[in-house]
Chain A
Amino acid sequence: MTLRKPDTTIVVLLLLAIGASIGAWWIPGWIRFISQMAISAALASLGAMVLLRAGLLSFGQGLFYFAGAYTAALSYKYLGLNEAVLLILFSIAISGGVAAAIGFFISNYRGIFFAMLTLAISMLVYGIAVKVSLFGGSDGLNIGLISILGFRYRGPDLQLAMFLICIWTAGLMAMVAHLFLRSRLGKVIEAIEDNEVRLEYLGTSVRSSIHAAYVLAGALGGAGGVLAALSARHVDPGFAYWTTAGDFVFIVILSGQASVLSPFFGAFALEVLRTFAAANFPDAWQMVLGTIMLLIVLFVPKGLGHIFIALGARWKARGRTVVPAAMNEETARP
Chain B
Amino acid sequence: MQLLGHLATIVIDGVSYAAWLFIISVGLTLVFGVLRILNIAHGGMYAVGAYLAAYAIGAAAANGFGAGAQLLFAATLAVACGAGLGILIEWTVLRRLYRYPEVLVLFATYAVFLIFEDATKLLWGGQSRYANAPRDALGQIRLGELIYPVYDLAMVLVAILLAVAVSLTLSSTRIGRCVTAVVFDREMSASMGINVNRIMTGTFLVGAALGTLAGALTAPKIAISSGIGVDVIVLAFAVTVIGGLGSIGGAMAGAVIVGMARAVTAHLFPQIELFAVYAAMAVVLAVRPQGLFARPEARKI
Contact = CB atoms under 8 A, between A and B. Distances in A.
Chains A and B in contact, CB within 8 Å? yes
Interface string B126-146: 000000000000000000000
Contacts of B104: 253, 297, 301
Contacts of B237: 116
A3 interface: no
B107 A287 contact: no
Contacts of A197: 300-301
B114 A289 contact: yes
Main secondary structure of the interface of B (DSSP, over half): helix
A155 to B, nearest CB: 40
Interface in A111-126: 111-113, 115-117, 119-121, 123-124, 126
A126 B108 CA distance: 26
Contacts of A246: 110
A125 to B, nearest CB: 9
Contact of A290 (B102, B112, B274, B290): B112
Interface stretch (A172-180, A212-220, A278-286): A278-286
Nearest to B41: A290
A298 B245 contact: no
A109 B289 contact: yes
Interface string A286-301: 1101110110011001
A173 to B, nearest CB: 24
Contacts of B97: 297-298
Nearest to A250: B107
B286 A286 contact: no
B282 A290 contact: no
Interface residues of B, number: 43
A55 B101 CA distance: 9
Contacts of A249: 107
Contacts of B115: 286-287, 290-291, 294
Interface in A124-169: 124, 126-127, 131
Given A57-B103, A111-B102, A113-B290, A120 B108 contact: no
A105 interface: yes
A181 interface: no
Contact of B275 (A112, A123, A289, A298): A123
A208 interface: no
Contact of A287 (B101, B119, B285, B289): B119
A116 B100 contact: no
B281 A116 contact: yes
A287 B114 contact: yes
Nearest to B100: A301
A127 B118 contact: no
A284 B115 CA distance: 8
Nearest to A195: B300
Q: How large is the interface on A (under 10, 10 to 19, 20 to 34, 35 or more residues)?
A: 35 or more
Interface in A236-277: 242, 246, 249-250, 253
B289 A108 contact: yes
Nearest to B101: A55
A124 B281 CA distance: 11
B38 A112 contact: yes
B113 interface: yes
Contacts of B190: none
B122 interface: yes
A45 B34 CA distance: 32
Contact of B108 (A119, A284, A298): A298
A52 interface: yes
B271 interface: yes
Contacts of A121: 278, 282
B88 interface: no
Nearest to A108: B289
A331 B115 CA distance: 35
Query: Most chain-B Cβ atoms within 10 A of its Cβ — which of A105, A126, A294?
Result: A294
A124 B278 contact: yes
Given A112-B102, A293-B111, A127 B285 contact: no
A226 B234 CA distance: 28
A259 B115 CA distance: 30
B118 A116 contact: no
B118 A253 contact: no
B102 A127 contact: no
Given A127-B274, A197-B301, A293 B282 contact: no
B237 to A, nearest CB: 6
Contact of A57 (B100, B106, B121, B238): B106
A294 B110 CA distance: 9
A253 to B, nearest CB: 5
A322 B38 CA distance: 41
B265 to A, nearest CB: 11
A70 B110 CA distance: 29
Contacts of B157: none
7 contacts: A120-B281, A253-B107, A287-B119, A290-B114, A290-B117, A291-B115, A297-B100
Given A124-B279, A127-B272, A286-B117, 19 more contacts: A57-B103, A116-B285, A121-B278, A124-B282, A197-B300, A249-B107, A253-B104, A253-B107, A283-B122, A284-B121, A285-B118, A286-B114, A286-B118, A290-B110, A290-B113, A290-B118, A291-B111, A297-B104, A301-B104
Top 7 nearest A-B pairs (CB, nearest first) are A290-B114, A127-B275, A287-B118, A293-B111, A294-B111, A290-B115, A120-B278
